[in-house]
């Protein structure tokens, strides 16, 4: 699976409210489970609501409690998470100077609820949102094509930052993604698996503002387990994608990328079926 290029395709296919919304669906591409059609199954089923409330400290503590330790070779997870939360807090503080000319920002901001501040190094923008969906059907099937894989009552929280230089060109964007215990099931047997995603996603621009030079990285843990807590699959560590879609595992283990067919087979089996 071509991780970055396929994630981009997923983003454009399912994003009916915002280009940023498609990034939430990267989990399905990463797991190697879902071959989305360009038509998408999301029209009328996906919801967004801005959420600029809550304690930054409590969210950081929640992340640490819910995240498994990153392999020692990785490092950087909590540094990245701190970067997101501290910049978010500064942008929403009374000291924020909201004098940013948003029409100059390159690439432009997606149509989420953003707040931007002027700093000596350039604009910084931040936002938080909750993405939710119910009863989504996806292209992957188990049971020799007779059972559709469904996701139900998905609710993901995103805390996002965008950092620009003095020329209003995007240097990097980063977001903390938290999806606790999203259920996955097959119809009609009702067996459910639970997916928890607690990662930091970073997109750095080798040439500020030039989206063709993006280097993407995912750092953290994504786990799929059954209701008893038995692990079915887990990606843990840091993986990086180049502008051409090439992937490099910097540390840890990512079976969803290195052996997607085996992962899909295990998930179908855990759901009471076969691939």
- Taking all residues of the chain, what is their mean pLDDT, rounded to a whole number? 75
Find the mean pLDDT for residues 164-188. 88
CB contact at 8 A, 182 and 267: no
pLDDT surpasses 90 at 267: no
Considering the domain boundaries, does residue 32 fall inside one?
no
Q: Give the whole-number percent of the chain exceeding pLDDT 90.
A: 43
Is 233 part of a structural domain of the chain?
A: yes
Cα gap 22→12, rounded to integer Å: 6
pLDDT top residue among 63 and 125 = 125
pLDDT of 71 reads 65
Asked if the model's pLDDT at residue 179 lies above 90, the reply is: no
Q: Is residue 25 part of a domain?
A: no
Whether residue 159 lies inside any domain: the answer is yes
Domain that holds residue 105: 45-270
Q: Which of 209, 103, 126, 111 is nearest to 165 (CA)?
A: 209
Local structure of residue 254 (DSSP, 8 states): -
Residue 19, in any domain of the structure: no
Q: How many domains does one find in the chain?
A: 1
Query: For residue 31, what pLDDT is reported?
Result: 38
Answer whether residue 21 is part of any domain. no
Work out the number of other CB atoms within 10 angstroms of the CB of residue 104. Answer: 12
User: Does residue 196 lie in a domain region?
Assistant: yes
pLDDT per residue as tens digits for the range 202-245:
999 999 999 999 999 999 999 999 988 999 999 999 999 999 98
Task: Indicate the pLDDT class of residue 139, thresholds 50, 70 and 90.
Answer: low
pLDDT digit string, tens, across residues 75-128: 788 889 999 999 999 999 999 999 999 999 999 998 778 999 999 999 999 999
Q: Which token pair is 72?
A: 């020692």
Are the beta carbons of 242 and 4 closer than 8 angstroms?
Answer: yes
Residue 42 pLDDT > 60:
no
Most confident of 133-137, 145-149, 193-197: 193-197
Tokens 């990662």 sit at which residue? 199
5 versus 253: which is more confidently predicted? 253
The answer to whether position 35 is within a domain reads no
Q: What is the pTM of this model?
A: 0.73
Alpha-carbon gap, residue 198 to 224, rounded angstroms: 12
- Residues 200-213 as b/e (b if ≥16 CB within 10 A, e otherwise) read bbbbbbeebbeeee
- Model confidence band, residue 188 (pLDDT cutoffs 50, 70, 90): low
């Amino acid at each position: 699976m071509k991780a970055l290029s396929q994630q981009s395709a997923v983003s454009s296919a399912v994003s009916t409210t915002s280009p940023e919304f498609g990034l939430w669906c990267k989990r399905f591409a990463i797991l190697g489970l879902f071959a989305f059609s360009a038509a998408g199954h999301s029209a009328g089923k996906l919801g967004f609501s801005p959420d600029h409330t809550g304690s930054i400290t409590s969210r950081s503590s929640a992340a640490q409690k819910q995240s498994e330790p990153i392999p020692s070779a990785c490092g950087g997870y909590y540094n990245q998470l701190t970067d997101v939360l501290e910049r978010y807090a500064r942008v929403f503080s009374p000291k924020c100077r909201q004098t940013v000319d948003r029409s100059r920002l390159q690439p432009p901001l997606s149509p989420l609820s953003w707040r931007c501040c002027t700093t000596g190094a350039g604009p910084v923008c931040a936002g938080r949102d909750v993405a939710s969906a119910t009863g989504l059907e996806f292209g992957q099937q188990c049971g020799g094509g007779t059972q559709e894989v469904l996701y139900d009552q998905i609710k993901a929280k995103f805390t996002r930052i965008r950092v620009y230089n003095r020329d209003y060109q995007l240097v990097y964007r980063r977001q903390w993604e938290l999806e606790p215990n999203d259920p996955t099931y097959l119809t009609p047997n009702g067996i459910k698996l639970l997916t928890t995603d607690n990662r930091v996603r970073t997109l750095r621009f080798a040439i500020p503002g030039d989206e063709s030079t993006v280097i993407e990285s995912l750092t953290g843990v994504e786990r799929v387990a059954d209701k008893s807590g038995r692990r079915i699959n887990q990606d843990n560590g840091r993986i990086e994608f180049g502008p051409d879609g090439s992937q490099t595992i910097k540390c840890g283990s990512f079976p969803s990328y290195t052996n997607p067919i085996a992962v899909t087979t295990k998930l179908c089996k855990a759901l009471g079926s076969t691939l």
